Amino acid sequence: MDVHKCEGRLLLGPGPSNVSPRVLGAMSRPLLGHLDPDFLKIMNEIQDRLRQVFQTSNGLTIPISGTGSAGMEACVANFVEEGDSVLIGVNGVFGQRLADMVSRHGGSPTLVESAWGDPVDEKGMLEAAQKCKPRIVAVVHAETSTGVLQPVEPFREICDRFDSLLLVDTVTSLGGHPVEVDSWGIDLCYSGTQKCLSCPPGLGPITVSAKAEQRLKERTSKCKSWYLDLNLVNSYWGSDRTYHHTAPISMNYALLETLNMVMEEGLQQRWDRHRRNHQALVAGIEGLGLRMYVAPEHRLWSLNTVTIPEGVEDAQVRSQLLSEHNLEIGGGLGELAGKVWRVGLMGENSRSQSVLHFLFALEKCLKKQGFQCQPGAGVQAAAAFYIGDPATHEGEANLSRTLSGLPAG
């Protein structure tokens, strides 16, 4: 395959997202050794920035050398021992993945399943907790397979009643939605670099509360994963700086650069940007006569699920977007396969240009399949939202340039 054919591709799927030239430039810097004093300083800076993004003062806050799923498994492998009761809210693929990992590590998972597209049932979780007395309560904050944003705070109350640790998946929310580890009382939190942080895939940021660290020290058996054993990994990232594995140097350069960009923009400003572009996309989708899959009060800003209209072929539209418009979106997973499109507006891609280009291209693809919609209705509805929103960063002049840059017709 000629990778040059993919240049300029707009990644509006569930991840990875496009990366800033600053981040790509950082990756091209000369390598250092993983115990070089200058690299150790970079490690300190990364940890400091991650604490700011996670909104925590946790000492054990590090990027796991692996993707977001490695962060997930690190949390499970280190805090689940044989026979441990783990209560998991499941409303999509990634809640199911958590349950699978718990079983593989010898835990006893209790699942509270909700309809895909709905948040986890808080009452059902409490009722289940009263029966299974969990050592860990786990939920997915941003369910990438469905586009649902899950409130987290109510589960802290359940944890307090049963002295449980609260484990939260923030792979698709960190950097695009508020994630407040300390104020929400989260004990174990993991994410990925390739989504709202707009860094290449390859690192899994995690943060561990002081209570969870104490639990880690009290384990009665060794962690079954040598590579993900946090007692060993933290000896490298902690004050000892003891060799554990060869860190991916260039990926850590990239992570530090992207975290610096997050701090330069400001967390609140970044969250607001993701919210506004989500709202503009929704306006455009509805302008085309389509509908969102998730109810307004439960929608992610970073990952948008659009219901595929009857008579429209899922794979054909995605293929046309890719081949004719150099634009990627995702299909549905699991029971939503063939029923929804998953449109990511994450990090660098949460921009008015991305929203308008996608709506323009989607209309073209829909018309080729005989779907009837008013010409330009999607773009016009999104543009009207931007013009009417006084907080929009881009401003009317930039918006006009974007609109004028769309192909005719």
CATH number at residue 380: 3.90.1150.10
Q: pLDDT at residue 186 above 90?
A: yes
Who's near 96: CB < 8 A, 6+ residues apart? 90, 334
Residues 135 and 220 grouped into a single domain: yes
Q: What is the 3-state secondary structure (H, E, C) of the chain?
A: CCHHHHCCCEECCCCCCCCCHHHHHHHCCCCCCCCCHHHHHHHHHHHHHHHHHHCCCCCEEEEEECCHHHHHHHHHHHHCCCCCEEEEEECCHHHHHHHHHHHHCCCEEEEEECCECECCCHHHHHHHHHHHCCCEEEEECEECCCCEECCCHHHHHHHHHHCCEEEEECCCCECCECCCHHHHCCCEEECCCCCCCCCCCCEEEEEECHHHHHHHHCCCCCCCCCCCCHHHHHHHHCCCCCCCCCCCHHHHHHHHHHHHHHHHHCHHHHHHHHHHHHHHHHHHHHHCCCCECCCHHHECCCEEEEECCCCCCHHHHHHHHHHHHCEECEECCHHHCCCEEEEECCHHHCCHHHHHHHHHHHHHHHHHCCCCCCCCHHHHHHHHHHHHCCCCCCHHHHHHHHHHCCCCC
Read off the tokens for 251. Answer: 């990926």
Choose among 322, 294, 245: nearest CA to 63. 245
**Spatial CA neighbour of 60 closest among 239, 185, 256, 300:** 239
Which of 264, 289, 324 terminates a domain? The answer is 264
Question: Percent of the chain scored above 70 by pLDDT?
Answer: 94
Phi-psi region of 15 (alpha: psi -120 to 50; beta: other; left: phi over 0): left
In a domain, 22, yes or no: no
Residue 19 lies in a domain: no
Residues 165 and 51 in one domain: yes
Is the residue at 26 inside a domain?
no
pTM score of the predicted model: 0.94
Among candidate residues 246, 264, 282, the one where a domain is terminated: 264
Does residue 237 contact residue 43 with C-beta atoms inside 8 Å?
Answer: yes
Asked if residue 215 and residue 74 are part of one domain, the reply reads yes
Quote the pLDDT of residue 389: 80
Contact by Cβ (8 Å): 294, 147: yes
Residues 150 and 245 in one domain: yes
| Domain annotation covers residue 25 | no
pLDDT, average across residues 393-406: 59
Is a pLDDT exceeding 60 seen at residue 396? no
394 vs 349, more confident: 349
Is residue 309 in a domain? yes
What residue has token string 């104490």?
Answer: 214
- CATH number assigned to the domain comprising residue 135: 3.40.640.10
User: Average pLDDT in the 140-157 region?
Assistant: 97
Residue type, 43: M
Statement to judge: residues 201 and 288 lie in one domain? no
Asked, for residue 235, whether it belongs to a domain, the answer is yes
Domain extent, residue 232, equals 31-264
Q: Among residues 232, 264, 296, which one ends one of the domains?
A: 264
Do 259 and 271 lie in a common domain?
A: no
Mean pLDDT of the chain: 95
- Per the structure, the count of domains in the chain is 2
Distance between CA atoms of residues 100 and 223, nearest Å: 17
Is the same domain home to 283 and 254? no
Reported as a single tens digit per residue, the pLDDT across 10-65 is 999 999 999 999 999 999 999 999 999 999 999 999 999 999 999 999 999 999 99
Q: How confident is the model at residue 4 (pLDDT cuts 50, 70, 90)?
A: low
pLDDT tens string 235-277: 999 999 999 999 999 999 999 999 999 999 999 999 999 999 9
- In this structure, of 115-119, 161-165, 380-384, 404-408, the range with the lowest mean pLDDT score is 404-408
76 lies in some domain: yes
In terms of domains, do 103 and 241 share one?
yes
Summarize pLDDT for 295-350 with one digit per residue, the tens: 999 999 999 999 999 999 999 999 999 999 999 999 999 999 999 999 999 999 99
Same domain assignment for residues 40 and 189? yes
Whether 399 is covered by a domain: the verdict is yes
Q: What is the pLDDT of residue 365?
A: 97
pLDDT band of 406, cuts 50, 70, 90: low
Whether 91 and 204 map to the same domain: the answer is: yes
Count other C-beta atoms under 10 Å from residue 244's C-beta: 19
* Confidence (pLDDT) at 405: 66
Q: Both 60 and 181 in a single domain? A: yes
pLDDT at 394 over 70: no
Same domain, 72 and 170: yes
